[in-house]
C-alpha cells in the first residue's frame, strides 16, 4: 500500500478495500467464536447453536463461553471435593482392613493375591517375604505349588457361592476359613475374598477338655469295676432316697436284678426285703432278717453313710451290706451251747447241793424206819418223810430235764440231708480239730433227706463229736460214716481215744454224768444229744472197749410221723 501523504485523503477504492478486509476479519473472528462455543457445547453433550438462534450481538451479550467457564469451575470444585472424600474413605477402610482380628485376603481368578491385610500377613505369610502382591496365594499362604484339592476358593470360583471350612491346619496353626465371591456389576465372579479366623487356642482348649473327659471316663469306669467286684452288696441313693445303683454282690445276695431295684425309694426296697420299715443307722451295723427274691431267708448286716460332693454337700447315701447268715448261725450254736453249759453248771451246782441234804433226809428216815419200836403212826410219818424226799429228788430231776430241754427257739422242721449236717458241724469244730491234731475221715453214703430240726440235730452230733475230740485229747483219728438201711439213716462216729470202761457205759447218757473233774464240763452234752435224737424218733448207741476207742451210732427214721 502506498504510504499516504500528509494532506492526502485515502481514495474510495482504498477505503473499500480496507472495509472488505475488516469485514472478512470480523467474519473470521465471529466464526471462531461461534465454532468454539459449539465446540464447548459439544463437549457438554448438547447440540451446537443454530446460527439463526442467536445473532452475533445477542450471542456476545449472552456470553456462552463465560457461562460454560463458570459451570466448569463448579464441576472442578465438585471433583476436588469428591476426591478428598474418597481419599478419606479409602484411608478409613484401609485402617479397618488392617485392624480387624481376622485375616482378609482377596485373590483374582488366577489365584493371584490382589490384597492382603495385616492380620493375614501375621497368620500365614512367612516373615521373610515382604512383597506378595501378584504372587500365588497357594504359594504364599499354603506353601504349595498348586491349589490344594480341598481349597474352598476353587469351590467359590466355580459356584459363585460362599464356602465355609470349619477346621483346617496350615503352618502349625488351626483356622476356620470362609471364602466369598467377589462379583462385578454384572454379577460375574471376578475374584474371591478369603476370611481367616485363628482357632488354634480354641482347638487346644477343646483337645485338653477331650483328654480330661477321657481321664474322667476312665476313672469312672475303674470305679464302676471296683464297685462291681466288691464282695459286699452296695447300693447308692440320691438326695431323695431313690436308689440309683445296685452292685453285683447286692444282686447276688438279694436275688433282685438292677431293673427290679433302681428307681425305687430305698425304704421301699428295704421293706421288700425285710417286710417292715427298718431304721438303718449311719455308720453303724444293723442286723436285718431278709427274704430274697427267690425266697431264701438270710440275715444281713447293713450300714449306711452319707455321700458328699466336693463342696461338702450331701448328694445321697451309700448302703453296704453283707450276708452274715452263716456267721450268725455259728454264733447261735455256740451261744446256745454256752448257755446250756452255764445253765447246766448252775443246775449241776444246785442239784449237787440239794442232793446231799436230800440224801441225808432219805437216809435218816430209812434208818429211823428200821427201829422195831415204832408205832404205826410214827412209821407212817417216816414213810411220808422218805416219800417226800424221794419226790423232791424227782422234782429236781424233772427241773433239770426241763432246764436241758428249755430252748426258747421254736422247733423248726425242715427237709435236710444228714451228710450236709455232718459237714457243717465239722466246719464248726474246725478249730478244735486242728488244736487237738485230729484227723477226720468221712465216709458219706448217699442218703435221702429226712425231716428234722436241723439246729437240734446239729447240736446232738456236735456234742458227740466234741466228746470224741475231748476223749482223744491230743493226736488221734475220728471217722464218721453215714449209711441208709430199712427206712433208717445211720451215723457212726468212731474215735481212737482211750475208750469207755464197762462200768461207766450205762451212765454216759445220764444228765450231769461226767468223768471230768468238777468245774470242767457239765455231763450234759451226751444227755442232750440223747434227748434230741429220741424226740426225733431215733436212737443212740455206744460200743466201746477200754483202751480201744468208742463208736457212737445214731439212727434216725426217714419217715417220721412223730416229728
Partner 1 sequence: MPNRETLNLDILGQACPACLLVALREINENRDKLKKGEIEIIIRTDHRDATRTIPDFAKAMGYAVDIKRIETYYEIKIGKRK
- Residues contributing to the site for partner 1 (CB under 8 A): 41, 44-50, 53-54, 62, 64, 67-68, 70-71, 74-75, 77-78, 81-82
Please state the closest distance from residue 31 (CB atom) to partner 1, in A: 18
- Cβ partners under 8 Å of residue 415, min gap 6: 449, 450, 451
Partners of 304 in the β-ladder = 282, 319
- Please state, in angstroms and as integers, the Cα–Cα distance from residue 476 to each residue in 59, 464, 468, 479, 515, following that order: 159, 16, 10, 10, 20
Closer CB to partner 1, 44 or 226, in the complex: 44
Closer CB to partner 1, 69 or 395, in the complex: 69
Please state the closest distance from residue 67 (CB atom) to partner 1, in A: 5
Query: In the 8-state DSSP scheme, what is residue 265?
Result: B
CA-based Rg of the chain, rounded to a whole angstrom? 63
Residue 215 CB neighbours (<10 A): 9
Rounded distance, CA 486 to CA 264, Å? 54
Closer CB to partner 1, 67 or 218, in the complex: 67
Closer CB to partner 1, 48 or 241, in the complex: 48
- Cβ partners under 8 Å of residue 105, min gap 6: 113, 115, 116, 117, 120, 137, 141, 193, 194, 196
Please state the closest distance from residue 66 (CB atom) to partner 1, in A: 9
Q: Is 111 helix (H, G, I), strand (E, B) or coil?
A: coil
Give the residue from 273, 195, 276, 266 showing the smallest Cα distance to 237: 266
Closer CB to partner 1, 69 or 164, in the complex: 69
Rounded distance, CA 343 to CA 338, Å? 8
- Please state, in angstroms and as integers, the Cα–Cα distance from residue 520 to each residue in 319, 415, 462, 505, following that order: 45, 36, 18, 20
- Cβ partners under 8 Å of residue 516, min gap 6: 523
Please state the closest distance from residue 54 (CB atom) to partner 1, in A: 7
Rounded distance, CA 139 to CA 155, Å? 18
Please state the closest distance from residue 81 (CB atom) to partner 1, in A: 7
Please state the closest distance from residue 75 (CB atom) to partner 1, in A: 5
Please state the closest distance from residue 77 (CB atom) to partner 1, in A: 7
Closer CB to partner 1, 20 or 62, in the complex: 62
User: What backbone torsions phi and psi does residue 494 show, to the nearest 5 degrees?
Assistant: -120, 135
Closer CB to partner 1, 52 or 311, in the complex: 52
Please state the closest distance from residue 36 (CB atom) to partner 1, in A: 14
Closer CB to partner 1, 71 or 394, in the complex: 71
Amino acid at each position: 500500500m502506498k504510504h499516504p501523504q500528509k494532506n492526502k485523503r485515502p481514495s474510495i477504492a482504498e477505503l473499500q478495500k480496507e472495509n472488505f478486509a475488516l469485514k472478512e476479519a470480523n467474519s473470521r473472528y465471529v466464526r471462531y467464536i461461534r465454532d468454539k462455543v459449539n465446540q464447548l457445547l459439544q463437549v457438554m453433550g448438547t447440540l451446537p447453536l443454530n446460527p439463526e438462534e442467536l445473532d452475533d450481538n445477542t450471542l456476545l451479550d449472552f456470553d456462552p463461553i463465560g457461562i460454560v467457564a463458570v459451570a466448569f469451575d463448579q464441576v472442578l470444585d465438585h471433583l476436588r471435593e469428591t476426591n478428598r472424600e474418597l481419599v478419606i474413605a479409602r484411608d478409613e477402610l484401609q485402617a479397618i482392613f488392617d485392624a480387624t482380628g481376622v485375616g482378609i485376603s482377596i485373590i483374582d481368578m488366577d489365584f493371584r493375591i490382589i490384597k492382603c491385610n495385616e492380620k493375614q500377613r501375621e497368620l500365614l505369610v512367612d516373615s521373610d517375604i515382604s512383597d506378595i502382591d501378584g504372587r500365588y496365594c497357594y504359594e504364599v499362604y499354603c506353601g504349595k505349588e498348586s491349589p490344594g484339592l480341598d481349597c474352598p476358593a476353587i469351590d467359590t470360583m466355580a459356584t459363585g457361592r460362599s464356602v465355609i471350612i470349619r477346621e483346617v491346619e496350615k503352618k502349625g496353626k488351626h483356622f476356620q476359613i470362609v471364602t466369598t465371591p467377589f462379583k462385578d456389576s454384572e454379577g460375574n465372579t471376578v475374584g474371591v475374598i478369603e476370611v481367616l479366623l485363628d482357632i488354634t487356642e480354641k482347638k487346644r482348649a477343646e483337645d485338653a477338655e477331650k483328654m480330661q473327659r477321657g481321664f474322667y471316663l476312665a476313672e469312672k469306669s475303674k470305679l464302676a469295676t471296683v464297685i462291681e467286684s466288691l464282695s459286699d452288696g452296695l447300693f447308692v441313693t440320691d438326695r431323695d432316697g431313690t436308689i440309683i445303683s445296685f452292685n453285683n454282690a447286692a444282686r447276688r445276695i438279694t436275688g433282685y436284678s438292677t431293673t427290679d431295684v433302681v428307681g425305687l425309694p430305698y425304704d421301699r426296697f428295704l421293706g421288700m426285703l425285710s417286710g417292715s420299715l427298718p431304721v438303718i443307722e449311719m455308720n453303724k451295723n444293723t442286723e436285718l432278717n431278709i427274704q430274697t427274691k427267690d425266697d431264701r431267708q438270710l440275715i444281713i448286716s447293713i450300714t449306711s453313710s452319707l455321700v458328699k460332693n466336693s463342696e461338702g454337700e450331701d448328694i445321697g447315701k451309700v448302703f453296704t451290706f453283707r450276708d452274715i447268715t452263716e456267721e450268725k448261725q455259728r454264733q447261735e450254736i455256740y451261744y446256745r451251747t454256752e448257755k446250756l453249759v452255764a445253765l447246766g453248771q448252775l443246775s449241776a451246782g444246785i442239784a449237787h447241793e440239794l442232793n446231799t441234804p436230800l440224801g441225808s433226809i432219805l437216809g435218816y428216815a430209812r434208818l429211823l424206819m428200821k427201829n422195831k419200836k415204832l408205832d404205826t403212826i410214827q412209821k407212817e410219818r417216816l414213810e411220808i418223810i422218805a416219800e417226800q424226799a424221794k419226790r423232791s429228788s424227782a422234782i429236781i430231776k424233772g427241773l433239770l430235764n426241763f432246764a436241758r430241754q428249755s430252748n426258747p427257739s421254736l422247733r423248726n422242721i425242715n427237709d435236710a440231708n444228714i451228710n450236709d449236717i455232718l459237714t457243717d458241724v465239722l466246719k464248726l469244730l474246725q478249730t478244735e480239730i486242728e488244736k487237738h491234731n485230729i484227723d477226720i475221715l468221712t465216709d458219706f453214703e448217699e442218703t435221702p433227706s429226712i425231716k428234722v430240726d436241723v439246729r437240734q440235730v446239729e447240736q446232738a452230733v456236735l456234742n458227740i463229736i466234741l466228746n470224741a475230740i475231748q476223749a482223744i485229747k491230743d493226736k488221734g483219728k475220728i471217722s464218721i460214716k453215714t449209711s441208709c438201711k430199712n427206712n433208717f439213716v445211720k451215723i457212726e462216729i468212731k474215735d481212737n481215744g482211750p475208750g469207755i470202761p464197762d462200768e461207766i457205759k450205762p451212765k454216759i447218757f445220764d444228765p450231769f454224768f461226767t468223768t471230768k473233774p468238777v468245774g470242767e464240763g457239765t455231763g450234759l452234752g451226751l444227755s442232750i444229744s440223747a434227748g434230741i435224737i429220741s424226740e426225733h424218733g431215733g436212737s443212740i448207741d455206744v460200743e466201746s472197749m477200754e483202751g480201744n476207742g468208742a463208736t457212737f451210732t445214731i439212727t434216725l427214721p426217714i419217715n417220721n410221723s412223730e416229728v
